[in-house]
Structure 1
């Protein structure tokens, strides 16, 4: 029996419908307009030294940006397996049986793609997106093959391909933020082949840039200022340059990073003092919340306890290593509040 899935598109001041065929029960998603009070929720999960963020759109669709690290990554110990289990548990709670409409992998480092296989096995995923690199990497090939076997649409986004497998409307714009060219061949530095994702809901916007560093940042057309910013590369000094932040003009920001003494962050020492200082300056607000940061003038592989220090940061800046899971909501009014 052929059934129909009906979505009412999100619009400012009105609505219209689009219909697609699906082998599932007919579902009508109510239309939402600017000023309606409908919420967009952004869930930054505490996955240690990695990134995993669920965007619950106001029309009940869901986008998952990255999936944290492999549960058994060498050198990570129990931290990675516990973070992996936590991610799956939280997704089950927050999705409540709904599909992941788009799984977006910013780039192919393990702390961003490592959980993709289990996500694909555990949840219904409608589309999988990555940057098309890593064709010779067994893990990446297996993930793409698994997606296709599960009838998940596999899409490449890169400088020559920006079309997304998810609908936008006048109130909800979902766009790829990709440079006109990669700064260098991607095998040299995969961080600088991160594919950014921008979501605008009326007057609120959020930008995810994975691990993009300054070399890629300067090539990006951001399509305007940003309300909420995922701080690049876990708060590394290599990212969040002053010129980039001056273009972003963010109101709020989140760093996803592991604790200093745990798992893989023993080798990376995120966040770095210099990056946090730059983000603080861009955000403003009340500098009243202490954050543990690494003095990146020192060598991380020889880090001492005294190389870590506590600095006061903006009350508009959160970090998963201190704050745990971070859920920020907006009604499209240009303001995000933590639940």
Structure 2
């Protein structure tokens, strides 16, 4: 049981649930403002001094710290949720724990002997922050005082064998339900893990897995989740470590657009996977028609979406 303090009944009150997807280059960090005033931070972007990232990671880290300071004010972060321990998801966690009041920390318990992950755990312990682990078979993590909110941890019944070499394959998903609205955070879960997890039904808003890679957002998963809205957190072409990954991919943008519906009047810069990411000829990136219900930090900067629990998210 993870304690997040007191809650209240909020359905029908018109209170907003708001989620901030921060523009943190080729990484992920999203702050959820629950309608009862509590906050959940999903992932913490990259380490500011990551190798081969240049100034992109340091700028993104500074932006995250500045935005959290502005958005939190004097309030604590009730829960820091790390989907998996890759640097672009856990890299800022030590500084978040050091600079902000954190009431609880959750990760998947993997690779605790890694220096970066160990430093995060040590920081949490030194500050008296309780640590919890979501493991296979531990598919629901009840949160005290959730009230009209339902917050669910989602993991497969057993880790994939590829977890030993690929941390993406051990992502722990987080689902937040508020009346008729829901959010599904997938971290970097790829198709093999998508096929194993139970997303607990359709989700209104989807955090697109693995920064819009073609290794995630499989057709079967999108059919089960049936998102109405989606957000890709990815770097711009040539920005920092996106030189090595070339996200998002054009086929993923097209698949998401088909799944989301809406107007296709917008475009999103995406990479054509028929080319090699390491070569990146000019024609490998193109403006792909995209649903107006699909947002991307590479194009839109910080993305802030809000819902009153009526099944609709609006951009703020």
Question: After TM superposition, is the score higher than 0.5?
Answer: yes
1:158 equivalent in structure 2: 135
Distance in 2 (CA, whole Å) between partners of 1:263 and 1:185 is 26
Distance in 2 (CA, whole Å) between partners of 1:234 and 1:288 is 22
* 1:9 partner SS: coil
User: Which of 292, 303, 316 matches 1:326?
Assistant: 303
1:163 CA displacement:
5.4
Change in Cα spacing, 1:7 to 1:194, as seen in structure 2 (3 Å) is closer
- TM-score, length of structure 1 as denominator length: 0.90
1:135 CA displacement:
2.2
What stretches of structure 2 of length at least 5 have no aligned partner? none
User: Which of 105, 109, 118 matches 1:132?
Assistant: 109
1:281 equivalent in structure 2: 258
Report which stretch shifted further, 168-177 or 192-201: 168-177
Report which stretch shifted further, 132-141 or 252-261: 132-141
Distance in 2 (CA, whole Å) between partners of 1:328 and 1:244 is 23
Distance in 1 (CA, whole Å) between partners of 2:113 and 2:147 is 40
What stretches of structure 1 of length at least 5 have no aligned partner? 1-5, 12-32
* 1:287 partner SS: coil
1:248 equivalent to 2:222? Answer no
1:185 CA displacement:
4.8
User: Which of 40, 48, 53 matches 1:63?
Assistant: 40
The answer (yes or no) to whether the contact 1:10–1:172 under 8 Å persists in 2 is: no
1:9 equivalent to 2:7? Answer yes
User: Which of 201, 212, 216 matches 1:239?
Assistant: 216
Distance in 1 (CA, whole Å) between partners of 2:188 and 2:257 is 19
Distance in 1 (CA, whole Å) between partners of 2:64 and 2:197 is 30
Change in Cα spacing, 1:305 to 1:232, as seen in structure 2 (3 Å) is same
2:205 equivalent in structure 1: 228
Change in Cα spacing, 1:298 to 1:231, as seen in structure 2 (3 Å) is same
Matches within 5 A, 1:137-216: 137-162=114-139, 164=141, 166-167=143-144, 169-216=146-193
* 1:207 partner SS: strand
1:32-79 Cα deviation digits (max 9, x unpaired): x31111001000000000000000000100000000011011111111
Matches within 5 A, 1:89-100: 89-100=66-77
Distance in 1 (CA, whole Å) between partners of 2:39 and 2:139 is 19
Kindly name which structure, 1 or 2, has the bigger radius of gyration based on alpha carbons.
Answer: 1
1:186 CA displacement:
1.9
The answer (yes or no) to whether the contact 1:168–1:174 under 8 Å persists in 2 is: no
Change in Cα spacing, 1:88 to 1:165, as seen in structure 2 (3 Å) is farther
User: Which of 282, 285, 301 matches 2:278?
Assistant: 301
Distance in 2 (CA, whole Å) between partners of 1:187 and 1:7 is 36
Distance in 1 (CA, whole Å) between partners of 2:152 and 2:265 is 34
> RMSD between aligned alpha carbons?
1.5
1:37 equivalent in structure 2: 14
